[in-house]
Amino acid sequence: MKIYILIASLFFAQLTIAQETTTSTKTWTLQECIDYALANNITVKDAALDKDNAAVAYYKTKSSRLPSLFGSASQNFSNGSTIDPITSDYVTDQIHNTNVNINSSMTLFQGNQINNQIKQSKLLLEQSVFLEEVEKNNIVLSILEAYLQALYAKENIAIAENNVKASENEVLRAKARLDAGTIALSDYTEAQSQAATNKYNVIAAKNTYQQYIIQLKQLLELSPLDDMNVAAIDENNNSINLELDKIAVYNNALAYLPEIQASNVNIAANEKELEIAKGGFLPTLALTGSIGSGYTSISDNTFSDQFDVNFNQQIGLSLSIPIFNKNQTKAAVKTANINIKKAEIQKQLTEKDIYQKVETAYQNALSAQEQVMASEASKEAAEQSYKLAQKKYELGDLSTTDLVISQNTYTNAQQNYLQAKYLNILYHQLLQFYQGKEIKL
């Protein structure tokens, strides 16, 4: 028992010293946490980069309508019997020649695939915007939960510290009674044990608080060297409207949440993929053109004269008609149809998941509101009982064991009330969020 008391006291002393040497700590409000995280969280940044990639892909697809233009130049040497590439004469000699060309081609028709690819890329860009909003919402909800958990842990520290003060006073009273011979040594050591337990609970409560602070710091992408604290909130206006229609909340969520909009766009993008695949059955018509000139050593004309004489221009149309491509187009069409069905199922799963979240938040909110009232009454009753137990203990009408039991009952009642209070706030804010309203404490 003495070793247990000593270890707890040493931990408590070290934690106190560490806190005294800590530099000034910034206190963050919930809104400050949200704003900072939206600007700095790496998950949000990654989603923004995905959106940028989608924008580049859209730009690239739009550019596929433009003609291509390539320049080429070649220098060749041949010996023996060959055909001169400039004059097309059959010669037996050593020759060297120079060719310069500019080639261009432009697809005029490709089964309407280019137009559909552009439309699909635009849809994918829209989807990336919604997916970025999904990540932002996830971060906001994660911060809300971690922030309220930190506040809950912070208030638990206050409860634990009050218990330490009370138990230390009880140890002093128990010592006086032991010296007076009115209690046994076991009663005194039990008071000491309770005091050590309460000091240990302070350390545990502070550690729990720091764990939630670490979660917040990670969501905000703060440095491990940065210290932070959470500001108290306005606990008013967090009551649930008992007449609130959860179906109306669900319908608002379907209209508001970007997950649904992203699912709708995903279906449309897969439908465009089907049209692109069907375009593979149609012919492709392309316009081609080139200009060029050259020089050959077997001609007596100068280099510049040959370039002028040999200057040529070509323009033409090429038509490619698909006859059989090993069923690749048929397979692409079937795959696109399957992906459309999968996208529709994914939307149904998303709607189902949202309904579950709304239903859970609604039921938990109503339950938490009732628990707040019940736990508050229980806390007040336990507080009165503990105060009465303290007076009886001072008069010698109550054993140390009974006093410890009364204190623990009061502590549990306080913790139950805190838990119910913050759960009530959390689920109220979730219902606000699902209705498209701003999270604000």
Q: What is the CATH number of the domain that holds 352?
A: 1.20.1600.10
pLDDT score at 306: 81
Provide the residue range defining the domain that includes 230.
2-40+111-282+322-434
Q: Is 298 helix (H, G, I), strand (E, B) or coil?
A: coil
- pLDDT grade for 106, boundaries at 50, 70 and 90: very high
User: Is position 423 within any domain?
Assistant: yes
Cα–Cα distance, 405 to 400 (Å, whole number): 9
User: Is position 61 within any domain?
Assistant: no
> Of 77-86, 258-267, 295-304, which one has max mean pLDDT?
258-267
- pLDDT grade for 118, boundaries at 50, 70 and 90: very high
User: Is position 96 within any domain?
Assistant: no
Cα–Cα distance, 178 to 197 (Å, whole number): 21
pLDDT score at 2: 42
CB atoms within 10 A of CB 120: 22
Q: By CB neighbour count within 10 A (0-12 exposed, 13-18 middle, 19+ buried), where does 151 fall?
A: buried
User: Is position 133 within any domain?
Assistant: yes
> Which contacts of 66-69 are long-range, i.e. CB under 8 A and separated by 24 or more positions?
66/106, 67/104, 67/105, 67/106, 67/287, 68/104, 68/105, 68/106, 69/102, 69/103, 69/104
User: Is position 219 within any domain?
Assistant: yes
Percentage with pLDDT > 90 across the chain: 70
How does the average pLDDT of the chain come out, rounded? Answer: 89
Q: Is 439 helix (H, G, I), strand (E, B) or coil?
A: coil
Q: Which distant-in-sequence residues (6+ apart) come within 8 Å of 176 by Cβ?
A: none
| Range with the poorest average pLDDT among 175-189, 239-253, 319-333 | 239-253
User: Is position 228 within any domain?
Assistant: yes
pLDDT score at 195: 93
Tell me the pLDDT tens digit for each residue of 326-344: 999 999 999 999 999 999 9
pLDDT score at 427: 92
> Which contacts of 336-342 are long-range, i.e. CB under 8 A and separated by 24 or more positions?
336/270, 336/273, 336/274, 336/276, 336/277, 337/274, 339/270, 339/273, 340/267, 340/270, 340/271, 340/274, 342/270
Tell me the pLDDT tens digit for each residue of 196-247: 999 999 999 999 999 999 999 999 999 988 999 999 987 765 555 556 788 9
Q: Which tops the pLDDT comparison, 180 or 278?
A: 278
- Number of folded domains in the chain? 1
pLDDT (average), residues 54-75: 95
Q: Which distant-in-sequence residues (6+ apart) come within 8 Å of 349 by Cβ?
A: none
